[in-house]
C-alpha cells in the first residue's frame, strides 16, 4: 500500500474517493480541513465524496480554543508569526532585487555565452536566498520551540488525547487543501502526523504542499500584474524531492519558457510538478511508485506526460547550496 498520495484540486468532481477505493481503504479515515479555517466544519460534501466514514479532526477550531485558553502561549505564538511575516516580506524584497539585476544584465550587448552564465548566477542567487530564508524560518521556529513546546501545554495535550481517540481505528489520514500556512501550522501544533504514523496519508492542493520538503507560493497572474514565486517554509517532508504546484491552469504560465526554466533550476534537484484536477503522485517510503502530472523542466519545457521519473539538472555552475 502506498504510504502517501498527493492529488490535484478536487473541484466539483472529486477523485479522492476513487483513490481511497484504489488503496483498498473502506474503513474510517481522519479528515483535516484546517486549511478552510472558519469554514472547516462545512464538511458534508467533502465527506460524501470520500465514500468512507470520516471524522473531521477540526484542527482549526481546536487552535481557536488553544489561543483562547492558553494566553501566554498565544502572545508568544503571535509574536513568532509576526516575526515570520516580516522575514517573509524582507525575503520577498530581496527576490525583487535579484529579479531586477537579472533583467538589467540580460539586456546588455555582450557575448551570448556570458549572458547565459549570468543567468545561471541569477539562479544561484535565488537558490542561496531561498535556502537562507528557510534557515531563518527554521531558526525562528527553533527558538520558539525551545521555550514553548506544544506537547507540554496542557490544553494542547488534551486536544491531542482527543485526536488520538478520534483517530483510533482510522485507516488513513486525508488532508484537504485551503490556506497552506494555516494548514501547516495547525498540523504542527497538534503533531497530527505523529498520531497517524505508519498509516496512509492522502492529500490534495495545499494539503499536498505541506507534505513536501519546501512549500512554494506561486501565481503568474496576480491581480497586481506579476509576481515571483517564493518559498514559504519547510513542509513535513513525507514527499521528498518534490515541489508541488496545485491548480496550474489558473496560476502557471506554461508558455513562459524562460520563467519555467528559471523556476525549475531554482528548485533543482527537486522535481517541480504542476498538479491539476486528476493529477496523482503515489509514494512509498518517500519514493515515487506511480505518478501522473505536469513536470516543469530545467530546459523550460513542460512535460505534460510526466510519469514519475526524477528530474535531471545539468547546470555545472550551481554551487550546490544545501536544500
Residues in contact with other proteins by CB under 8 A are: 9-10, 35-36, 38, 64, 67-68, 82, 89, 93, 176-182, 205-206, 209, 217-219, 222-225, 227, 232, 246-247
- Which residue's CB is nearer to other proteins, number 96 or number 135? 96
- Which residue's CB is nearer to other proteins, number 176 or number 273? 176
User: Residue 241 and residue 243: Cα distance in Å, rounded?
Assistant: 7
- Which residue's CB is nearer to other proteins, number 12 or number 147? 12
- Which residue's CB is nearer to other proteins, number 219 or number 257? 219
Minimum distance, C-beta of residue 212 to other proteins, in the bound complex (Å): 12
User: Residue 60 and residue 88: Cα distance in Å, rounded?
Assistant: 23
Minimum distance, C-beta of residue 45 to other proteins, in the bound complex (Å): 13
- The number of beta carbons lying within 10 Å of the beta carbon of residue 279 is 24
User: Residue 164 and residue 297: Cα distance in Å, rounded?
Assistant: 41
Question: Which of 210, 204, 208, 201 has its CA nearest to residue 172?
Answer: 201
- Which residue's CB is nearer to other proteins, number 195 or number 217? 217
C-alpha cell at 138: 527554521
Q: What backbone phi and psi angles, to 5 degrees, belong to 265? A: -70, -35
Q: Cα-Cα-Cα-Cα dihedral of 37, 273, 199, 49, to 10°?
A: 60
Minimum distance, C-beta of residue 42 to other proteins, in the bound complex (Å): 12
- Which residue's CB is nearer to other proteins, number 170 or number 244? 244
Minimum distance, C-beta of residue 17 to other proteins, in the bound complex (Å): 17
Minimum distance, C-beta of residue 220 to other proteins, in the bound complex (Å): 11
- Which residue's CB is nearer to other proteins, number 46 or number 123? 46
C-alpha cell at 83: 516575526
C-alpha cell at 160: 491531542
Tell me whether residue 69 is exposed, middle or buried, using C-beta atoms within 10 angstroms of its C-beta: 0 to 12, 13 to 18, 19 or more.
middle
Minimum distance, C-beta of residue 50 to other proteins, in the bound complex (Å): 16
Radius of gyration of the chain (CA): 20
- Give the Å distances, CA to CA, from 247 to 132, 253, 279: 27, 12, 10
Q: Which residues of 201-214 are buried (b: 16+ CB within 10 A; e: fewer)?
A: bbbbbbbbbbbbbb
Minimum distance, C-beta of residue 35 to other proteins, in the bound complex (Å): 8
Amino acid at each position: 500500500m502506498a504510504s502517501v498520495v498527493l492529488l490535484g484540486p478536487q473541484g466539483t468532481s472529486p477523485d479522492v474517493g476513487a483513490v481511497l477505493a484504489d488503496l483498498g481503504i473502506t474503513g474510517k479515515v481522519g479528515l483535516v480541513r484546517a486549511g478552510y479555517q472558519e469554514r472547516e466544519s462545512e464538511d458534508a460534501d467533502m465527506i460524501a465524496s470520500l465514500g468512507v466514514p470520516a471524522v473531521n479532526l477540526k484542527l482549526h477550531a481546536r487552535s481557536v480554543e488553544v489561543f483562547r485558553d492558553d494566553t501566554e502561549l498565544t502572545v508568544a505564538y503571535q509574536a513568532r508569526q509576526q516575526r515570520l511575516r516580516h522575514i517573509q516580506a524582507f525575503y520577498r524584497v530581496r527576490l525583487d532585487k535579484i529579479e531586477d539585476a537579472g533583467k538589467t544584465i540580460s539586456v546588455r550587448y555582450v557575448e551570448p555565452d556570458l549572458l547565459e552564465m549570468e543567468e545561471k548566477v541569477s539562479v544561484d542567487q535565488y537558490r542561496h536566498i531561498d535556502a537562507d530564508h528557510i534557515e531563518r524560518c527554521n531558526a525562528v521556529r527553533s527558538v520558539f520551540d525551545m521555550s514553548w513546546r506544544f506537547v507540554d501545554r496542557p490544553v494542547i495535550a488534551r486536544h491531542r488525547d482527543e485526536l488520538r481517540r478520534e483517530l483510533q481505528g482510522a485507516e488513513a489520514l486525508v488532508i484537504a487543501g485551503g490556506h497552506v500556512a494555516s494548514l501547516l501550522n495547525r498540523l504542527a501544533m497538534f503533531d497530527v502526523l505523529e498520531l497517524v504514523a505508519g498509516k496512509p496519508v492522502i492529500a490534495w492542493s495545499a494539503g499536498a504542499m505541506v507534505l513536501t520538503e519546501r512549500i512554494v507560493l506561486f501565481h503568474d497572474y496576480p491581480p497586481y500584474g506579476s509576481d515571483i514565486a517564493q518559498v514559504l517554509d519547510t513542509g513535513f517532508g513525507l514527499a521528498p524531492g518534490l515541489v508541488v504546484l496545485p491548480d496550474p491552469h489558473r496560476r502557471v504560465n506554461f508558455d513562459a519558457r524562460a520563467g519555467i526554466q528559471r523556476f525549475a533550476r531554482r528548485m533543482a534537484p527537486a522535481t517541480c510538478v504542476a498538479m491539476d484536477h486528476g493529477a496523482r503522485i503515489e509514494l512509498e517510503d518517500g519514493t515515487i511508485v506511480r505518478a501522473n502530472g505536469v513536470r516543469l523542466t530545467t530546459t523550460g519545457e513542460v512535460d505534460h506526460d510526466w510519469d514519475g521519473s526524477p528530474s535531471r539538472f545539468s547546470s555545472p555552475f550551481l554551487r550546490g547550496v544545501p536544500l
